Structure 1
C-alpha cells in the first residue's frame, strides 16, 4: 500500500473548502470554514476568514490534509472574504 505524502500548506493566500466530513471528526473547525473560506498561511499556521472575520485556525499540515485549496492571486485575495 502506498501512502500519500502530505506537505504543509505553503505561505500564501487560498480559497479553502473542507473535505467531506468524517463521522468521527467531531467539532474540529470544519463547520466554521464550510462551505468555503479565505485563508492565509505563513507555512506553519493557517488562519481562516469569513466576511473579514477570523473564524478558525490550524497548523499548515492539518490544513493541507483536510482542505481542498486554491491559490488566490494577490489581486483577488482582498475580495475573497
Structure 2
C-alpha cells in the first residue's frame, strides 16, 4: 500500500477515501462495516489538513485505550496473539 501514498496519487486516495467513508455510513448492510469509516478518514487525511487533526485524535484515542493494537509484533511474525 506504499504506492498509494505517493504524491501523484492524491486523486486515487480521494476516491478510495470517499468510497470507504460511504461504506462506513452504510454499515448496516451485510458486507460493509463501520471499520471502513476511520480507514477512509485516515486516507483522506493525507491531503485534507482538517482531517489530519481528526485522524491524529482518533489514533491517539485508540493508542490510549488499546496500546497493543498499533504495536509491532514482538516475535516478528504477522500473526495476531491468540491468547
The answer to which structure has the higher helix fraction is: 2
Q: Structure 1 length as normaliser, TM-score?
A: 0.23
TM-score scaled by length of structure 2: 0.23
**Higher strand residue share:** 1
**Could you say which structure has the larger radius of gyration?**
2
